[in-house]
Amino acid sequence: MSAFIEQLPKVELHLHIEGSLEPELVFALARRNGITLDYANEDALRAAYEFDDLQSFLNIYYAGMSVLQTEQDFFDMTHAYLRRAHNENVRHTEIFFDPQAHTERGVPFSAVVTGIHRALEQARYDWGISSRLILSFLRHLPEESAIETLRQAEPFHAWLTGVGLDSSETGNPPDKFRRAYALAREQGYRLVAHAGEEGPPQYIRDAIALLRVERIDHGVAAIQDPALMAELAESRMPLTVCPLSNLKLRVVNSMSDHPMRTLLQAGLCVTVNSDDPAYFGGYMNANYMALQQGLAMTDSELLQLAANGVEASWLSPEEKALLL
Ligand code: HPA
Ligand code: ZN
């Protein structure tokens, strides 16, 4: 591991907290909650982490998180992620959670959000990690379900900074969530959406024009559309790129084919993130390492990526100045 990467102060802007659930914790929570899993043990579960595409990952991701039942489970999961983030010199993190994946199973919204929030507060106190929480809508579900989720979130608005959009991208375009995003905007939420992971560049354009997002999660499909790339560079619209995720979900064939350097050199505000680190083979440092090894990125390029993360974050100008 490169000492430069280890000591670099990092900001993470694209992390699904349910994707930080390591097999050991999946089994511990299953035991605690009396749940029988389809896998014999941790190694058997980990061996199933071979993905062909986004959907094949999502199937295992939703199965894994089914062990989460109580507020304490959500606290333990979030606390474990934050401990790792702290050990990797992540100073600030903006975290997605998927409430519908839990409320659909009968887990109360309040248990989910309270457990996560309590761990975020403790990490701020113990380790000085700042954070924001982003409620993410599942795009394979109807827009009405997203709107109902916004309603459930109302009592917890003070703990929630933004809304996002994740899950199966192809066939679930941004346009499907126009009304939910307009409502979230009226309620004062900041807006982001996954776009251009497996979906076409048009989904990136639509997330910006129809949903009015201020960041794009993934966005690597922009590489296929030079005019869009120029617009994203001009506006400094941040892309929260996830290199190891792109490799594991076969968005790229190898790390040496990853578009990160091309996007960076074209002036886009590209950032490095881990997405679902328990499933994709590594946390923040491993993602920076993959760029260093696969693309031979220099320390100065890695530093620019880290600075982009600070720029793209929802920290105040004063807080940003402390990190740069
Ligand atoms: N893409 C879409 N949905 C997701 C992802 C992702 O990378 N991770 C968790 N949900
Ligand atoms: Zn994601």
276 is in an annotated binding site: yes
d(CA 4, CA 68): 36
The ligand 1 atom at the shortest distance from the C-alpha of residue 242 is 7
111 neighbors 74 (Cβ within 8 angstroms): yes
User: Residue 12 phi/psi, 5° resolution?
Assistant: -115, 125
Q: Verify whether ligand 1 is closer than 6 Å to residue 166 (CB atom).
A: yes
ipTM confidence score: 0.97
197 lines ligand 1 (CB under 6 A): yes
Instruction: Characterize the bridge pairing of strands 10-16 and 215-218.
Output: unpaired
> How many whole angstroms from 56 Cα to the centroid of ligand 1?
11
Where does the chain have alpha helices with state H? 3-7, 23-33, 42-47, 54-64, 71-87, 99-103, 109-127, 143-153, 178-186, 201-209, 226-235, 243-248, 260-265, 277-280, 284-294, 299-312, 317-323
Task: Determine the residue of 57, 135, 136 to mutate for testing ligand 1's pocket, defined as the one with the most ligand atoms within 8 A of the Cβ atom.
Answer: 57
Rounded distance, CA 207 to CA 214, Å? 9
pLDDT for residue 110: 98
Domain span holding position 225:
3-323
**pLDDT number for residue 324:** 80
pLDDT tops 80 at residue 87? yes
pLDDT at residue 88, rounded to an integer = 98
Ligand 1 atom 3 nearest Cα: 167
Kindly give the distance from the C-alpha atom of residue 28 to the centroid of ligand 1, in angstroms, as a whole number: 24
pLDDT-based confidence at residue 1 (cuts at 50, 70, 90): confident
- pLDDT at position 44 is 96
Between the CA of 14 and the centroid of ligand 2 the distance, in Å, is: 6
| Mean pLDDT for the chain overall | 98
156 SS3 class: helix
Summarize the confidence of residues 235-262 as an average pLDDT.
98
Domain tally, the chain: 1
Q: Which CATH number does the domain housing residue 19 bear?
A: 3.20.20.140
β-bridge pairing 215-218 and 190-195: parallel
Tokens of 178: 């126009």
Catalytic residue ranges: 197
Residues with CB under 5 A from ligand 2 (ion): 275
Average pLDDT rounded to a whole number, residues 299-324: 96
